[in-house]
Amino acid sequence: MNPTTHTVVDIVDTAIAGKFNTLVAAVKAAGLVETLKGTGPFTVFAPTDEAFAKLPKGTLDNLLLPANKAKLASILTYHVVSGKVMAADVVNLHHAKTVEGQNVTIKTTGGHVMVDAANVTKTDIVASNGVIHVIDAVILPK
């Protein structure tokens, strides 16, 4: 391997390196690691650890229980869109269909982008099988 070549890792490893500890734990609990390590491409609206901390007390612990695996998977796949949608493309969208099946609402005001009620705080973290956009809240399917 050429030492000047940078290896771009998949979405899961990118999330691990980016310190999305709660998101990675949730992805593991929901059994979605292999999916998000797949060929994709995927666009992930990734909540920060602080975003998960904003959930009502006990919510996350409850979702991480094995009995709630399907519900957790539904919430997490609501954060994923098929295809690689870069920030320049997101600003032209009003909604996007999630892997969960429902649409997220995308609103752009003065260069500020929101996905449902979450603010996009960082964009275009490129992975080998897609892209991550960081959000400041956990978004929930209707």
**How far is it, in rounded angstroms, from Cα 93 to Cα 35?**
25
Domain that holds residue 73: 11-135
pLDDT of 11 > 50? The answer is yes
CATH of the domain at 125: 2.30.180.10
Residue 68 CA neighbour count, 13 Å, CB half: 13
Tally of domains within the chain: 1
Q: What is the DSSP string of 75-102?
A: HHHTTEEES---HHHHTT-SEEEBTTSS
pLDDT confidence bin for 23, thresholds 50/70/90: very high
Residue 141 falls within a domain, yes or no? no
Q: Is residue 104 part of a domain?
A: yes
Band (pLDDT 50/70/90 cuts) for residue 7 is: low
Beta 42-47 vs 130-135: how paired, if at all? parallel
Residue 93 within any structural domain of the chain? yes
Closest CA to 90 of 55, 123, 46: 123
Residue 83, in any domain of the structure: yes
Helices (H), 1-142: 11-17, 21-29, 33-36, 49-53, 59-63, 69-77, 87-90
Please check whether residue 45 lies inside any domain of the structure: yes
127-142 pLDDT, tens digit per residue, is 999 999 999 999 999 8
